[in-house]
Amino acid sequence: MTRHPFDQLAKQLLEQLLLPCGDVEISKEVPGEPHFIDLYFSPQTNVTPDPQTLGILAAMLQSPGLFEPFRNPPSVEDMESCLLKRLWLVSSLRRRNTFNSNHPPLLWIIAPTVSQNFLNSFSAVKKENWLSGIYELAPALKAIIIVVHQLPKTSETLWLRLLGKGRVQQQAVEEVIALPEEDSRRAIALRLLSIWKVTVEMSPEIPEEEELTMPIPQAFLEWENQVEQRGEQRGIKKVALNLMQTGMSLSQVSEVTGLSLEEVQNLQADHKENNQ
């Protein structure tokens, strides 16, 4: 079991959101170096990211990108490591004559909070014409810091706010739950959050900084219960079908499984129709 469940949550959530727009590599190895990029994105030339679906992420996918999410505020050493990964990657692209100076890979560092002193130490300034909470380092570095807890609470920032902590993350979860049930992004996000929550709660080896700080909203718990109930219901129906195939009468199947006679009859009819 991974010792860093948040890393898995962040990578898998971004992977699911970014995949329709290009190629995604998780834990991409930096050529010639014992380091890994958390997630690397390469846009497809014939795909235009949809702001309605992705929010601010759509603007972040115009160029190749290195995505480095942090559960806690990054240290200076963390920043230096991220910057080095990008420099090594650019050096490798140049050696292979695949570097595109018009669309160089950008480094996106995603953190819940950072101090003003930290931003000042890297000469980071608010990125022009972007939302609050997004800071750009010196232009030559092609690096951007996203401070999740400073982002405006709008639909544009929803997917990034899921990577926040505490109340910020809780509100984002509530917004995801409020999405229409047929929205595939809703199911994907809630499934990954549920896996992350269970992993953190069940593993005794999770580092202290990985502890779950998100107060789980009641709506999220209700969603989990609904998923469990649907799973149990599917299991009961499968048992009922197996019993019918043994020749047991419908009334007996109803008695054994607890399904109503009408439910058993409908199940039998649906099964026959699907197997015609």
**Closest C-alpha to 160, from 36, 58, 263, 91:** 58
| pLDDT above 90 coverage of the chain, percent | 53
pTM for the complete prediction? 0.77
The pLDDT, as a whole number, for residue 172 is 92
Phi, psi of 68 (to 5 degrees): -125, 90
- Is residue 87 exposed (0-12), middle (13-18) or buried (19+ Cβ within 10 Å)? middle
Q: What is the three-class DSSP state of 230?
A: helix
Interval 9-25 mean pLDDT? 92
Asked whether 143 and 119 are in contact (CB, 8 A), the reply is no
Side chain identity, residue 26: I
| pLDDT above 70 coverage of the chain, percent | 82
Phi, psi of 145 (to 5 degrees): -105, 125
pLDDT band at 151 (very low <50, low <70, confident <90, very high): very high
Number of Cβ within a 10 Å radius of residue 90: 15
Asked whether 37 and 27 are in contact (CB, 8 A), the reply is yes
Taking only the tens place, the pLDDT of each residue in 164-211 is 998 899 899 889 988 998 888 888 888 788 767 766 666 555 555 555
- In eight-state DSSP terms, residue 80 is H
| In the predicted structure, residue 212 carries a pLDDT above the cut 70 | no
| In the predicted structure, residue 262 carries a pLDDT above the cut 60 | yes
pLDDT band at 224 (very low <50, low <70, confident <90, very high): low
End-to-end CA distance of the chain: 44
Q: Where are the domains of the chain?
A: 5-183, 225-274
